[in-house]
Amino acid sequence: MPPLFPERASTMAGRVDALYFFLLALSAFFALLIAGLIVYFAVKYRRRAPDSVGDRIHGGTALEVTWTVVPFIITMGIFVWGASVYFAMATPPEDTLNIYVVGKQWMWKFQHLDGQREINELHVPVGRNVKLITTSEDVIHDFFVPAFRMKADVLPGRYVSLWFHPTRPGRYQLFCAEYCGTQHSKMIGEVVVMDPTEYQTWLSGGAPEGSLASSGEKLFQDLACITCHRGDAQGRGPVLQGLFGKTVTLQNGETVVADEAYIRESILNPGAKITAGFQPIMPAFQGLVSEEQLLALIEYVKSLGTQPQVEPARPTPSGPAAGEATPVKDKSKK
C-alpha cells in the first residue's frame, strides 16, 4: 500500500502534520457527532401517530451561547496555531545557506553562490538552514517539495524567499505546482540532501567559473557599470560598497531598503527610484540582462557590503572564493 503521507524530511514537516492531523481529527469528530445526532433525533422524535403535531420551541439561551462560544474558541485556536506555523515558515533564520532559484518553462534552474549551477536537481547539506531566493523568467510557477512541506509561488519580476532545514539525507521530489503551460507536469526534479562531507566533495567538484559574485563583478565591468558606480565616491552614480541592506533616501524624500528587488529594479528600470543627489542618467537594462545575470550582479553588490566604504572596487576578478572549500556563508549579513 502506498503511504498516505509523504515522508518528513524537514524541521517544518512535523509541525505542519500536527496541525493537519488536528484539523482532520476535529473534522472527523464533528462529522460523526452531527451525523450521529441526526440519526438519534430522527428516531427519538419520529412521528408516532398520523395526526401528531410537534411542540412549539422558544429558544434556549444556554444552548445558543454554547454553540457560539465553543466553536469560536476552537476556530481562534486554529487561527493562532496556523499563524504560528505560517510565520515560522515565512521567516528565514539569520544563518542560511543561500541558493538562487529561477523557474522557467519548463525547468528549475539553481545557482549556488560558489558558482555551481544545476537544472532540475538541487544539492544541499543535511542539517543546515537553506534559503531559496526564487524568481521566474516567464510565467508563475510554484516550488513544491512535499517531504519538506514547502510550497510557494515563484513569480516573474519578484524575489520570493523560502527556507527549509533538511533533517535526513536522501532524494526528495520537487514539483511545479502551478499550471504553467503544456510541459507543466514535466517540470519536476529532485532535492538531494547530502551528508556535510559528501556535500563538500560535491561542491569542490564543480564551479569552473568561480563564485557567483565574481561573475557578477566581471559583468559589472563588461557592462561598464563601473565607470559610473565607482568605489571612491567620485563617480556619477551612487557608491555601491556597503549598500546592500541599507536604507536609501530617494530624490522625492521617500526611503527604500536596498534589497534584491530594489537592485533588480534599479538595473532594469533605473528611473523608477533615483537616489537623492544623483541625476537620472543611467540607461535601462531591461531586456539586456538575463535573470541569471541579474542574480550575479545582485550577488556582486551583496559582496561589496562587507567591504569598507572607501575601498575602491577591485580591478581584477581573480576570485578568492573560486577554490574555497568552506561552507557558503551569506555575505550579505551586516
Interacting residues with ligand CUA (CB under 6 A): 103, 106, 141, 176, 178-180, 184, 187
Nearer to ligand CUA, 180 or 274 (CB): 180
CB 150 within 8 A of CB 129: no
Q: Rounded to an integer, what distance in angstroms lies between the CA atom of residue 85 and that of residue 22?
A: 13
User: Least distance in Å: CB of 146 to ligand CUA?
Assistant: 15
CB 157 within 8 A of CB 265: no
User: Least distance in Å: CB of 138 to ligand CUA?
Assistant: 9
User: Least distance in Å: CB of 160 to ligand CUA?
Assistant: 14
Beta partners for residue 109, in sequence order: 102, 119
Nearer to ligand CUA, 124 or 174 (CB): 174
User: Least distance in Å: CB of 158 to ligand CUA?
Assistant: 15
CB 132 within 8 A of CB 104: no
| Alpha helices (runs of H) in 139-251, residue ranges in sequence order | 196-205, 212-222
Beta partners for residue 194, in sequence order: 125
With cell 572549500, the residue in question is: 325
Nearer to ligand CUA, 26 or 139 (CB): 139
Nearer to ligand CUA, 12 or 174 (CB): 174
Those residues with Cβ within 8 angstroms of residue 214's Cβ, 6 or more apart along the chain or in another chain? 115, 300, 317, 319, 321, 322
User: Least distance in Å: CB of 101 to ligand CUA?
Assistant: 12
What is the DSSP secondary structure assignment for residue 171, as one 8-state letter? E
Nearer to ligand CUA, 178 or 217 (CB): 178
